[in-house]
Amino acid sequence: MTLDLPWGQLLVNGLALGSLYALTAFGIVLIFKTTQVITFAQGETAMFSTFVAFTLLTAFQLPFAVAFVLTMLFAGLFGALIERVVLRHISTTTVLNPVIVTVGLSLILLGAAGWIWGYEIRTFPDPVVGPPFHLGTVVVSQLNALIFLVTLVLMTVLFAFFRFTRTGIAMRAVAENRVAAQLMGISIGRMNALGWGMGTAMGAVTGMLIAPINYLDPGMMGDVALKAFAAAVVGGLTSLPGAVLGGLLLGIIDSVAGFEVAELRNTIAFALIVLVLVGRPGGLLGRHETKKV
Amino acid sequence: MVRWLRTRGRAAAPYALGLAAVLVLPAVLGVIPGVAPGYVLYLVSLALIYAVVAIGLGILIGHTGQISLGHAGFFAIGAYASALLTLRLGLPFVVAVLLAGSVSAAIGFLLGLPALRLSGPYLAVATLGFGLAIPQLAVWQGSWTGGSSGLHGLPLASLPLGAFTIVFRTDQDYYYLAAAVLIVLTIFARNVVTSHTGRAFVAIRDSEIAARAMGVDLVRYKTTAFALSALYAGIAGGLYAHLLHGISPEDFTVLLSVDFLTMIVLGGLGSVGGALSGALLLTFLQNALTRLPVVHDFKNLYIVVLGAILILTIAFLPHGLAGVARSVRLRWAARPRDRASRVDQIVELGEGSGVR
């Protein structure tokens, strides 16, 4: 391996990719914090939403911004619906149950998408076209710039939401202590549905922004979801900033690794998970929960 | 002998019947018209091999409470190890499969070490990553694993017995081999889960802290559970490679890991018999679905059915088929024996209380 790499370019590409991982990881952590369920369906709900966006863009010829917002709304409702219809009725006395059920959900979504849209690989319409920006020797494509912009806006909005709105504070209270939050008059059910809705919408954003880079087919989010998982776990499943940090970190590693040993990108993600967790079982910024008997 | 039959015979009867069914199945298939016994036996062998994995996975998830979403990884390790040992080193089949199981068990032990510090969702993600990494490593090390096209032309399975050697040529031979391995490993698993090791596993599942307070050595038993379940998956992988005479990285996807998970969830977590029945049922279901004339896109249907089985089982049959069987058995044992004696009982009770 030589160290003679285009570091600046890899860093910018990695940060763009990492922003997308971070968004999905953020969704996973959000759902985990509010509902105590780690969802293995995050990638597939995102994929499904991206197909909805594709249909809106091609069949209905909507402008990208409109389709983007409509898809986020769809994903939000979809996530809330999943919580209402499926997860609310599953006993969470063991950690196994939610894992198994969300794996089941992801399979159903995968099959359904294959049924509706088929397995042919499609190209997703480019949201932005135009000449790339140049920063010295580093090239930033319009798409990457859009990714940075969207991530920044979403993160700011979410930060404000959790800091300043009643609902946001209520969600944090639920994450902190469910029983106490319930005693304060917060509806746990509504917060669970909201958490699922928001988390799923975040995944949908990733899907819509990564589809123009990669491709569109039912398997498109498989690798991305694994990276997002790795990001969430590395950052700490209980920490929202940790998810962002983990995502960016993974994006950069992925971008450099993709340049050197492209075949091993998943393996590197796995090795990273194990290494970080052995050192810090709660992730980089997470708390390691101590259980009571 | 008569006394033994009277006391233990009743309990042993189902096993004797099961064994008889295993032995005569090929003969029965040969008689049914319109059925290709070879193909059916090939499918049954596949189901039996999957059952071996399911039993091992059941010990890990059902008894010890340590989730794995990457057992296709261990299965792949076993398959690749035995294929390489027979192809490249020319080792006999039996030795290769046993070594493959050992290699897989050793890697299971190693994966068990980080798993000591991981719980629940973290472990699920880590094992998922493991399952994805193994086929990728196989592609990467293409010079000796054959890359993405895999390894082909494996020798026939054979068993040297002193002076002469049994060679498993036909599907029927292989069926007997797979059934024998499954029977031995089932008995072994049943013994393990009822031994002190099995009780330590269950104690860990129910509460790690309480188990530790009772003197259960977490390091020892968690790594043992991982190694044991990897051993089962590894041996099964070796059998699989030789059943198909060839393997490629595409055989060992995440979907296969989910298949294994579905088998034990459907059969019932924490039950050896459940894992066995879940594996048989799912393999046949998978095959039956490919045969439905209405479906032209089998893969989608199968994935949806698999997902539905997972969700519905957890929602409505939390103890799987084994739980259903148990409740039926209990109800049967508690049935009213016969009418007359009940009437007598009621009369007796009435007399006792002075009511006429």
* pLDDT tens for each residue of B165-213: 777 877 888 888 899 999 999 999 999 999 999 999 999 888 888 888 8
To the nearest whole angstrom, how far is the Cα of B351 from the nearest Cα of chain A? 48
For residue A238, the model assigns a pLDDT of 83
Report CA B84 to chain centroid distance, whole Å: 24
Q: What is the DSSP letter of B318?
A: T
Q: Rounded to whole angstroms, how far apart are CA atoms A255 and A265? A: 9
Contact between residue A146 and residue A209 where contact means Cβ atoms under 8 Å apart: yes
Provide ipTM, 2 decimals.
0.85
Question: What is the token pair recorded at A46?
Answer: 């995102």
Q: Provide the pLDDT confidence category of residue B1 given band limits of 50, 70 and 90.
A: low
Angle (nearest 5°) at CA B227 between B222 and B228? 100
Contact between residue A248 and residue A18 where contact means Cβ atoms under 8 Å apart: yes
To the nearest whole angstrom, how far is the Cα of B307 from the nearest Cα of chain A? 4
Contact assignment for B304 to A267 by CB distance below 8 Å: no
| B246-268 pLDDT, tens digit each | 898 888 988 899 999 999 999 98
- For residue B217, the tally of other CB atoms under 10 A from its CB is 13
For residue B265, the model assigns a pLDDT of 92
Q: Which residues contact B22 (CB under 8 A, 6 or more apart)?
A: B179, B183
Q: Which of A10-24, A53-67, A182-196, B34-48 shows the lowest mean pLDDT across its residues?
A: B34-48
Q: Rounded to whole angstroms, how far apart are CA atoms B227 and B208? A: 19
Question: What is the token pair recorded at B39?
Answer: 């193909």
Scanning every residue of chain B, which has its alpha carbon at the shortest distance from the alpha carbon of A275? B114
Express as a percent the part of chain A with pLDDT over 70. 96
Of the candidates A38, A100, A105, the beta carbon closest to that of B121 is on A38
Q: Where is pLDDT greater, at B295 or A267?
A: A267
Instruction: Give pTM, 2 decimals.
Output: 0.87
The b/e string for B157-184 (b: 16+ C-beta within 10 A; e otherwise) is: bbeeeeeeeeebeebbbbbbbbbebbee
Q: Rounded to whole angstroms, how far apart are CA atoms B239 and B233? A: 10
Contact assignment for B314 to A106 by CB distance below 8 Å: no
For residue A125, the model assigns a pLDDT of 84
Is pLDDT above 60 for B295?
Answer: no
Nearest to A83 by CA among A48, A122, A120, A37: A37
3-state secondary structure (DSSP) of residue B346? helix
For residue A56, the model assigns a pLDDT of 92
**Is B306 an interface residue toward A (CB < 8 Å)?**
yes
Mean pLDDT for the stretch of residues B66-72: 91
Q: Rounded to whole angstroms, how far apart are CA atoms A90 and B157? A: 46
Q: Rounded to whole angstroms, how far apart are CA atoms B106 and B119? A: 21
Is pLDDT above 60 for A54?
Answer: yes
For residue A101, the model assigns a pLDDT of 92
Q: Rounded to whole angstroms, how far apart are CA atoms B204 and B201? A: 5
To the nearest whole angstrom, how far is the Cα of B132 from the nearest Cα of chain A? 7
Contact assignment for A38 to B67 by CB distance below 8 Å: no
For residue B294, the model assigns a pLDDT of 61
For residue B348, the model assigns a pLDDT of 55
For residue B291, the model assigns a pLDDT of 73
Q: Rounded to whole angstroms, how far apart are CA atoms A18 and B317? A: 41
Nearest to A284 by CA among A221, A210, A248, A232: A232
| A42-52 pLDDT, tens digit each | 999 999 999 99
For residue A31, the model assigns a pLDDT of 92
3-state secondary structure (DSSP) of residue A213? coil
The CB-side HSE value for A27 (13 A sphere, CA atoms) comes to 34
**Is B210 an interface residue toward A (CB < 8 Å)?**
yes
Size of interface A-B (CB pairs under 8 A): 145
Contact assignment for B309 to A104 by CB distance below 8 Å: yes
- Chain B residues with CB under 8 Å of A40 CB are 69, 124, 128
Contact assignment for A104 to B304 by CB distance below 8 Å: no
Express as a percent the part of chain B with pLDDT over 90. 31
Mean pLDDT for the stretch of residues B94-111: 93
| A223-253 pLDDT, tens digit each | 888 888 888 888 888 888 888 999 998 888 8
Instruction: Give the B window 86-115 contacts with A, CB below 8 Å.
Output: 114
**Is B18 an interface residue toward A (CB < 8 Å)?**
no
For residue B356, the model assigns a pLDDT of 40
Q: Provide the pLDDT confidence category of residue B353 given band limits of 50, 70 and 90.
A: very low
- Chain B residues with CB under 8 Å of A103 CB are 69, 258, 261, 307, 310
Q: Where is pLDDT greater, at B2 or B53?
A: B53
Nearest to A64 by CA among A76, A74, A54, A77: A54
Q: Where is pLDDT greater, at A267 or B69?
A: B69
